[in-house]
Amino acid sequence: MNDGALLEVRGLAGGYGPVRVLHGIDFAVPAGRIAALVGGNGAGKTTTMAMLAGLLDPDSGTIRYEGSAVEGWGSAQRVAAGIVLVPEGRLVFPDMTVEENLRLGAINRKARRHTAQGMEQVYAQFPRLGERRRQSAGTLSGGEQQMLALGRGLMSRPRILLLDEPSLGLAPMMVDLIFEAIGELAAGGMTILLSEQNVGLSLELADRAYVMENGAIALSGSGRDLLGNAEVRRAYLGL
Ligand SMILES: Nc1ncnc2c1ncn2[C@@H]1O[C@H](COP(=O)(O)OP(=O)(O)O)[C@@H](O)[C@H]1O
Ligand SMILES: [Mg+2]
């Protein structure tokens, strides 16, 4: 057992029908910290996130969250327990306003009771969203849509946020804003699992990191250790 882990994964394996994607991966996310799954396109990060969120059943392996085995739980039960996915590609509703998109995040009864307070917290974290609350989400920039997707996740009152490639396709300045926000959320006590192809920035931010290659964990360590690892520097940082 991994002391202090809010989420602990052991031997997670599976994929899509006959397509085997994950070959038995182990990792842990310490409470109140940032853990990162880094790796290139096709490594299996989104597949892992989908299994954690209850959107895809693994063939084998265990997912322990706060000491409970949650593999058999549906996605709604996991959200209610505080496991909240912010999916790759953001998936905001373009014809709905910022505020309406945020409202959709407050999907369970407990979160609904805190809708107004939750929105104020999101607008405090992302003032750009507050300024655009009546604007339709489709008119936002990519970075603002990512803020909105993150905000919608926060509206579900997560205990652990699963962030799947939040920097994908964003301009460098927006990437910095998003990573800054992720760091602030963790500083406020949120537990975060980040999946990213932006290996350098993720390792700088992460307390614990795992390099994924071909559905397996190739390397793990503190973000700082992996930043100094010769193999990581050559393969992912171009150094
Ligand atoms: N719906 C799907 N059906 C079949 N194969 C898929 C599906 N989604 C992803 N894959 C395959 O699974 C592998 C891992 O993909 P993915 O988990 O999306 O990786 P990453 O998020 O790290 O880019 C890839 O080879 C991809 O082609
Ligand atoms: Mg992906």
User: Which tens digits make up the pLDDT trace of 209-237?
Assistant: 999 999 999 999 999 999 999 999 999 99
Distance 55 CA to ligand 1 centre (A): 14
The pLDDT of residue 165 is above 70: yes
Q: Sorting pLDDT into bands at 50, 70 and 90, what band is 3? A: low
User: Which tens digits make up the pLDDT trace of 43-100?
Assistant: 999 999 999 999 999 999 999 999 899 999 999 999 999 999 999 998 899 999 999 9
> For a pocket test of ligand 1, which of 16, 20, 211 has the largest count of ligand atoms closer than 8 A to its C-beta?
16
Cα torsion for 11, 13, 168, 34, to the nearest 10°? -20
Place of tokens 């590609």: 89
Distance 196 CA to ligand 2 centre (A): 8
- Ion ligand 2: residue ranges with CB closer than 5 A: 45-46, 88
Q: Whose CA is nearest to atom 9 of ligand 1?
A: 47
Which sign, positive or negative, has the C-alpha torsion 59, 60, 61, 66? positive
Q: Which ligand is nearest to the CA of 43?
A: 1
The pocket around ligand 1, CB under 6 angstroms, is made up of: 16, 19, 21, 39, 41-47
d(CA 39, CA 219): 11
Closest listed residue to residue 196, CA positions, set 50, 58, 88, 47: 88
Residues constituting the chain: 239
Mean pLDDT of the residues in the chain:
94
Range 162-188 average pLDDT: 95
83's torsion region: left (phi>0), alpha (psi -120 to 50) or beta? beta
Residue 71 CB neighbours (<10 A): 17
Q: Which residues pair with 9 in a beta bridge?
A: 27, 63
Q: What pLDDT is recorded for position 49?
A: 98
User: Which tens digits make up the pLDDT trace of 92-123?
Assistant: 999 999 999 999 988 777 777 888 889 999 99
Distance 168 CA to ligand 2 centre (A): 9
- b vs e for 147-170, b when ≥16 Cβ sit within 10 Å of the residue's Cβ? bbbbbbbbbbbbbbbbbbbbbbeb
Distance 129 CA to ligand 1 centre (A): 32
Q: Whose CA is nearest to atom 26 of ligand 1?
A: 42
Distance 120 CA to ligand 2 centre (A): 30
